[in-house]
Amino acid sequence: MCLFQYADDPEPEERGPAGPLYVPVRPGTAQVVLRMFRTPLGDRTAVGFTRPDLLAATLGSEHPWIRLSESALRTLASPLGGYRLTIDPTLTAPAVTPVPARTGDSRPAHSGRGSR
């Protein structure tokens, strides 16, 4: 998610309501479940997009979504610990995958020379 502020970004008090948003939901579930994200600092955030093409560019064209107002999204995210709302994030990181266990050499990695 891109949470950096640029010189031409409006101040929070200058922004109007976002209007109906395209909100990502969890894929593969029978019920609609709000998908929560994390900011670069680890805070939970709800995410909404102002256009479906922005959602597709960030999360992929097949990612499921629903339409919600900004206030409805805040209301749904609040019990999930999402006190922050990010609109139109542009940067994402790949999903975290576990590192496979090392096989063969069981010695710990050592970056320095000599012994301590």
CA–CA gap between residue 32 and residue 35 (Å, rounded): 9
In a domain, 36, yes or no: yes
In a domain, 111, yes or no: no
CA–CA gap between residue 101 and residue 22 (Å, rounded): 39
Domain count, the chain: 1
pLDDT for 69: 92
Torsion angle of C-alpha atoms 64, 70, 73, 79, degrees rounded to 10: 160
pLDDT for 110: 47
Going residue by residue through the chain, which has 116 residues, state the pLDDT in tens, using 9 for 90 and above: 444 455 555 555 455 556 799 999 987 777 888 999 888 888 889 999 999 999 999 888 989 999 999 989 989 898 887 678 889 987 666 666 666 666 665 555 544 555 44
In a domain, 78, yes or no: yes
Q: Which range of residues forms the domain containing residue 58?
A: 21-87
In a domain, 48, yes or no: yes
In a domain, 99, yes or no: no
Query: What six digits make up the tokens of 64?
Result: 């499921």
